[in-house]
A and B are shown apart, each in its own frame.
Chain A
Amino acid sequence: MAHPSLIACHECDLLQHPAPVPPRGAAKCARCNALLYRVPGERGIENAFAVLIAALILFVVANIYPILSMELQGQRVDATILGGVRELREGGMPAIAVIVFLTGFLFPLVNLLGMLAVLLPFVRRRRPRYLATLLRGVMMVRPWSMIEVFMLGVFVSMVKLAHLAHVVPGLAMVAFVLLIVLLASAATVIDPHYLWSRWETLE
């Protein structure tokens, strides 16, 4: 027996009636102040979908072009995430190579594609068939997608190498910063409560 008119806080289990929330608003738990759900603005899903397409293009750019380049005695070395992964593997650290590959490349990509797959049926005004599976996947992958941590690592590396050689940021650095901003703005639409309430209205 389901009670769609009730909501239980996922952090303290307090049962409450969902209050009407204006567009771009959020509902908080009356007891523990946890975020219960968010309601995006008008056409929020369509906007987020467009933002994610742009993010996908940036993701490609961020992984093709170098993040950092080092120049030394006329020699130039470029660093990309996948290049770094290869160096780690060949340098005898396959386990770290796997961790960096997953958190810096695969999980961010799965997160991006997963969000697109979640939103696509809503954009086409069809009832999604695999919403539960896709949402679960996106929620599971999100904390392990660490490109913003990676970016901080890029800044630290630049400083550490500055005394050794001339290090310049590459095009991928710009792409990464934009990508982080776009992903953060699109992620606010991936709200289970909101998406499932939309799911109820579609056929």
Chain B
Amino acid sequence: MTPAAPTAASLGLLSCHICGLVSRAAAERGAQCPRCGAHLHLRRPGSVQRTWALLVASAILFVPANLLPIMTTTSFLGTQSDTIMSGVIFLWTSGSWPLAVIVFVASIMVPLLKILALGYLLVTVQRHSAWRPDERIRLYRVIELVGRWSMLDVFVVTLLVALVRFSSLAIMQPRGGALAFAGVVILTMFAAMSFDPRLIWDPVEKRDG
């Protein structure tokens, strides 16, 4: 790879997000890719605002997702409500600590760190920071990669309900916390997708002239 010029945007060139073709913008508005016909944008439109909106929504939902029960189990011992955290504690105390760690990381650590990290990236982008862009882009890649694994507990609830619901030993029912939790995962995934990583690098070019 030999850098031909600083960036496509600085030369008035647009790259297609569908087919990757680099072309000169005929007009600022309504430009279309000459090869595949996709609408072209210099940067994702409204990226920062949209990401903020989704991020705030997921941070709000994160509270009920962790406080409300995701499942209730009714057996001859009585009714027991399970939150995400009590599920982790159950795995830990029953001796399956590797799984307890996996569920804790996927369900609690990842969504929380994802919300904080995306917020951090948005603040640095809005302040036009040129500080360590290589490390910030790596952070963004990690966020994009691990986000979907947080859906783990939603699948666990599904399987438990499917297996136990009709048996004689207990009745397991899904509860609102599971829905709030799925909402957090979906919203943070959309937030990461709407963030334009090129915004991290734009101030670097300005600084280096």
Contacts and interface: CB of A to CB of B under 8 A. Distances in A.
Interface of A: 1-4, 6-8, 10-17, 19, 27-34, 36-37, 67-68, 70, 72-73, 75, 77, 79-81, 83-85, 87-88, 91-93, 95-96, 99-100, 103-104, 131-132, 135-136, 139, 143-144, 146, 149-150, 152-157, 159-161, 163-165, 167, 192-193, 196
A12 B36 CA distance: 22
A3 B155 contact: no
A98 to B, nearest CB: 10
A83 B3 contact: no
Nearest to B170: A164
A84 B159 contact: yes
B163 A70 contact: yes
A157 B163 contact: yes
Contacts of A152: 102, 106, 149, 152, 155
Interface stretch (B53-61, B111-119, B173-181): B173-181
27 contacts: A1-B34, A3-B22, A10-B15, A12-B133, A15-B5, A15-B22, A16-B2, A16-B4, A17-B1, A17-B4, A31-B3, A34-B141, A72-B169, A84-B158, A84-B159, A100-B154, A143-B189, A149-B149, A149-B151, A153-B155, A156-B91, A157-B155, A157-B156, A157-B159, A159-B91, A164-B170, A165-B169
Q: Which 6 A-B pairs have the closest CB atoms?
A: A153-B155, A132-B36, A8-B15, A8-B8, A84-B162, A30-B1
A132 B169 CA distance: 53
Given A83-B162, A149-B152, 4 more contacts: A15-B22, A70-B164, A144-B148, A156-B103
Contacts of B76: none
Nearest to A73: B168
Nearest to B95: A159
Contact of A8 (B13, B94, B197): B13
A88 B193 contact: no
Contact of B20 (A7, A68, A136): A7
Q: Tell me the dominant secondary structure on chain A's binding face.
A: mixed
Interface in B16-38: 17-24, 26, 34-38
A96 B1 contact: no
B151 A103 contact: yes
Contacts, number: 236
Contact of A192 (B6, B18, B34, B165): B18
B154 A99 contact: yes
Contacts of A99: 154, 182, 186
B66 to A, nearest CB: 17
Nearest to A197: B20
Contact of A10 (B3, B20, B38, B166): B20
Contact of A159 (B9, B99, B106): B99
Contact of B7 (A12, A68, A81): A12
Given A13-B198, A96-B158, A196 B19 contact: yes
A95 B103 contact: no
A81 B18 CA distance: 32
B63 interface: no
Most chain A Cβ neighbours within 10 Å, of B5, B19, B173: B19
Given A8-B13, A103-B151, A156 B137 contact: no
Contact of B169 (A68, A159, A160, A164): A164
